[in-house]
Chain A
Amino acid sequence: MTRYLLPIAFFAILIPVFVVGLAKDPTVLPSTFLGKSAPEFELPLLHEPGETISNKTFADQLVLVNFWATWCVGCRQEHDFLKQLSANNVIPVYGINWRDDRDKAIEWLNELGDPYVMSGFDGGNHTGIDWGVYAAPETFLIDASGIVVYKHLGPLNSYVWQKEFVPRLAAANGATM
């Protein structure tokens, strides 16, 4: 009897392994900083190179930090959604223009609207590497104590927002209140 049951049992174990394993997208890597402090950074502002943005800029706040570039198609897709977020005061959004050209980036924001409280400029990909960014757009949710709560790879939209961000925002707000 075990002669027949054994392969079936083996099969029954393998199926869930494959279902879970193959459904995962191998190109989506979770941030290594989840649950840890966001890496220290300091960058010149996109609009005023003389001034800087750093972790201190948004200390004590729950914020989004969005890495974007003008060459990135996903960034254009999510742009309207980011504008909605800031227009409705859902959460402050800080931008980091990543691996891009300063003039093009300013032109893009003038043309499409600027959803960012402030934008840093990381043309040389220094902060990007320190934060483990590998494909724009990437959006980090950072809580009031500077901890990375979540990172989303790819464009934001209302579906992703409801599913991934809303519960985490509620939890973070509950913890601080």
Chain B
Amino acid sequence: MNRIAVLSFCLVFPAMVIAIDTGQTLDDPVLQARYEKIIEEVRCLKCQNQTIKDSNAFLAGDLRREIRRLLTEGKTDAEIFDFLVLRYGEFALYRPRASGKTLILWIAPFFLLIVGGVIIVRVLRDRMRLPIDDERDTAER
């Protein structure tokens, strides 16, 4: 059983290390590190649940090329994200920036958490006011 598990592990995992990004690496290791961080943050518009790091769609490859070009031109990360948002909208970023349009995305989870908390507290308080049903309590034990 163990041997089968190891074997299937070995058979399945090599497929996952095939390099998708076949573009040239940047000469400057600092730029390369920034490049790798940026491409993890950008959505492939053609294959929407993948980042351009994970996608082998040609659009992802072209966007990686553009990001490499912008990095070598000395653009900052913010300028590169602006470049993408200008063309493809805030949707292109996996972490949309907090702005008027995306504010609801940032606020909604906390708002819902508070609403849920208030409901729970109220329900529990109501329950505490109920008389304890001794008879059933003992019957169950």
Contact = CB atoms under 8 A, between A and B. Distances in A.
A63 to B, nearest CB: 21
B45 A99 contact: no
Contacts of B66: 129
Interface residues of B, number: 14
Interface stretch (B1-9, B22-30, B83-91, B131-139): B83-91
Interface string A1-45: 000000000000000000000000011011010000001000000
List 6 A-B pairs, minimum CB-CB distance, nearest first: A134-B45, A132-B87, A125-B62, A32-B89, A132-B88, A134-B46
Contacts of A135: 45-46
B48 interface: yes
15 contacts: A29-B89, A29-B91, A32-B85, A32-B86, A32-B87, A32-B88, A32-B89, A128-B62, A129-B63, A129-B66, A129-B87, A131-B87, A132-B87, A134-B46, A135-B45
Contacts of A132: 87-89
Chain A interface main SS type: loop
Contacts, number: 34
Range of interface residues on A (Cβ < 8 Å):
10 to 19
Given A32-B88, A134-B59, 18 more contacts: A26-B48, A27-B48, A29-B88, A29-B91, A32-B85, A39-B87, A99-B58, A125-B59, A129-B63, A129-B66, A129-B87, A130-B87, A131-B87, A132-B89, A134-B45, A134-B46, A135-B45, A135-B46
Contacts of A27: 48
Contacts of B87: 32, 39, 129-132
Interface of B: 45-46, 48, 58-59, 62-63, 66, 85-89, 91
Q: Which of A26, A27, A32, A134 has the most CB of B within 10 A?
A: A134
Nearest to B87: A132
A29 B48 CA distance: 11
A125 B85 CA distance: 17
Nearest to B45: A134
A129 B91 CA distance: 15
B45 A29 contact: yes
A93 B63 CA distance: 27
Contacts of B88: 29, 32, 132, 134
Nearest to A36: B86
A27 to B, nearest CB: 7
A90 B66 CA distance: 37
B58 to A, nearest CB: 6
Contacts of A99: 58, 62
Given A32-B88, A32-B89, A134-B88, A129 B62 contact: yes
A108 B63 CA distance: 27
